[in-house]
Chain A
């Protein structure tokens, strides 16, 4: 472990987006990292630790990717301030590691010149060096190191090559007591950017020989994927396959989890003496945890696709294809990635809006992000679709539940576009900010990296389930168990509980959209977190009906609800008011209570209207 006599040090990773910086961070720190981050882009602060062979503990900070220290977004401001040592509550880094894609040095050289002006001791990591070698790109490492005045290490982060050498170079720099020079960095003018480019160009010419076998693969693939028509068709086909997979691949595992928890609940109920404790364990804890865990397979599959496409380099292409469509709705092309992340969870999506520089564009994106179908809605959709939509094939190949699921996702997307269009019209006018984005070369995703990231998302979901959902489940169980039924009562016990009273009290409000009082009860915790509604329905019906089997919840609902009610519930959840954590994140990101309030009001109104229209239409069609 750490030798107390060797002082620890701080290292910051800085580089262009797509330079493999995060892969290098993973290779350096392994599992010793603290991540408060989600899918898609690097937004949150990521810190990890590595101990050098000499016993020095290095704390490594993975800073958001940037092309310039002249920060334009909150994300890039973090990088600038961290490098300059101006970030509140942060100690400036002892060493800066500039991470560069060895095959794409032009822009990063200019960034390195800026970093040099800052004057901190620096090591340059030429990442993806294997690809550079394969292309026959010749880099005069010694000459470049002399020119830049910093040590250079070649790395292949995905294969963990060059990592030990990088750590050694950083360690040596700290050991020498390198202090760097005084900071002479200031925001460059247009003329200075031109000069820096000229300088970078000169360095490049002097020390790098262009590749003998340049990458032609990316150009060929782009010919298809960026084709005005074929590209869009492929994008939508990809999204369609993604959602079909989320629905069909996960089923066997979900059945297994469902079965296991059903068995466990029944086992506990059968082997413990009947009473309040047994009811708590079986109906509160086990069925609560089970109802949430069961959706882990789907969340993992969704993240698998998002991370795979991100690593392949497709996400920037998707933003290119979607820019005009989103621009028509008043959204910025860069909003595509935050909105796509919102399919997993609105929280990382809202946090990812930090890549959007202009406040109006950003707030519009934040306001519509929760309309994208987050994974927390999957439990609700799955349950209701399973109960009310017959599982049969359509046109031979598609299955009907999958199709309905796709329709619900589409409804979320269309309403997000419509709402942002209205926001642009009503709240503010004006053009979206410039859309300038690098299209990275395609890279084969690294299996270990994808697996690591997918598991990380799963872990975040579970910790959330543990910390928010479980306590809420216990509260719901308590609300629906106390006070108990009076002696000689004929109705189910829950009818006499606090939850029952609340449900009955709110019932008239929800009557016109076809909700019964059990649903109204489930909606109360549903405001705290969407997926809790499923577990709450489980608790309400398990406690009320006394059959105790979570797996049979769908059947119970099909028995108790009309089809119109089921459809109305689905419509409600397309717009359903977001979870408490989303509200908290919007408050934090916009630094005002105005936007979370606007969001809550407009989404509740939309949910009610949509459910009302759905229920009344379905009832009129004889499904009531």
Chain B
């Protein structure tokens, strides 16, 4: 599946332990703690202002300190992704998840 998105830096879960990655680039099975949620850091057009996307992410509970785990991904270009966020499940696009930085657990 990795070869489907050649522009993305993909890291195997084992190699990524202890690394900080964008949630938008995480793989199913990756888990960790959110360490930063930024406004407009991720490249690309989100259809809304960076600050608006930032606040929406926060409202859904993407806040520093929350635990996150990538559960599933879509069939086409591995998008969107379904994540477990603390005790909730949220679906979002990789593009919009780029502003969320996750410190992956050591495996």
Across the interface, which residues of A come within 8 angstroms of B95, CB to CB?
431
User: Which of chain A's residues has its CB closest to B84's CB?
Assistant: A219
CB contact between B54 and one of A190, A229, A232, A440 (< 8 Å): that residue: A190
CB contact between B72 and one of A193, A197, A226 (< 8 Å): that residue: A226
Chain B nearest CB: distance from A336 CB in Å?
11
Across the interface, do A433 and B82 meet the contact criterion of CB distance under 8 Å? no
CB contact between B93 and one of A227, A231, A434 (< 8 Å): that residue: A434
Across the interface, do B89 and A218 meet the contact criterion of CB distance under 8 Å? yes
Q: Mark B67-103, 1 if CB is under 8 A from A, else 0.
A: 0000111111101101000111111110110000000
In the complex, whether A228 has a CB less than 8 A from a CB of chain B is yes
Chain A nearest CB: distance from B12 CB in Å?
19
In the complex, whether A358 has a CB less than 8 A from a CB of chain B is yes
Across the interface, do B82 and A431 meet the contact criterion of CB distance under 8 Å? no
Across the interface, do A435 and B91 meet the contact criterion of CB distance under 8 Å? yes
CB contact between A106 and one of B55, B58, B61 (< 8 Å): that residue: B61
Across the interface, which residues of A come within 8 angstroms of B72, CB to CB?
222, 226-228, 320
Across the interface, which residues of B come within 8 angstroms of A194, CB to CB?
58, 63-64
User: Which of chain B's residues has its CB closest to A324's CB?
Assistant: B76
Chain A nearest CB: distance from B92 CB in Å?
5
Across the interface, do B86 and A106 meet the contact criterion of CB distance under 8 Å? yes
Residue among B54, B60, B76, B87 with the most chain A CB within 10 A?
B87
**A416 to B71 Cα, complex, angstroms:** 31
Assuming A321-B74, A434-B53, is B59 touching A104 (CB within 8 A)? no
In the complex, whether A70 has a CB less than 8 A from a CB of chain B is yes
Chain B nearest CB: distance from A333 CB in Å?
7
**A110 to B95 Cα, complex, angstroms:** 26
**A228 to B74 Cα, complex, angstroms:** 5
Across the interface, do A324 and B80 meet the contact criterion of CB distance under 8 Å? yes
**A189 to B51 Cα, complex, angstroms:** 9
Residue among B47, B73, B77 with the most chain A CB within 10 A?
B47
In the complex, whether A172 has a CB less than 8 A from a CB of chain B is no
**A319 to B74 Cα, complex, angstroms:** 11
For chain A residues 296-312, which have a beta carbon within 8 Å of chain B? none
In the complex, whether B19 has a CB less than 8 A from a CB of chain A is no
Q: Mark B24-50, 1 if CB is under 8 A from A, else 0.
A: 000000000000000100001111100
In the complex, whether B104 has a CB less than 8 A from a CB of chain A is no
Across the interface, which residues of B come within 8 angstroms of A430, CB to CB?
45, 47
**A210 to B86 Cα, complex, angstroms:** 11
In the complex, whether A589 has a CB less than 8 A from a CB of chain B is no
A residues near B (Cβ < 8 Å) are 67-68, 70, 72, 104, 106-107, 110, 188-190, 193-194, 197-198, 201, 210, 214, 218-219, 222, 226-229, 231-232, 316, 319-321, 323-325, 328, 333, 357-358, 361, 430-441
Further contacts, 10 of them, CB under 8 A, given A188-B55, A226-B71, A431-B44: A106-B61, A106-B88, A107-B60, A197-B58, A323-B80, A431-B45, A432-B47, A434-B46, A434-B96, A439-B89
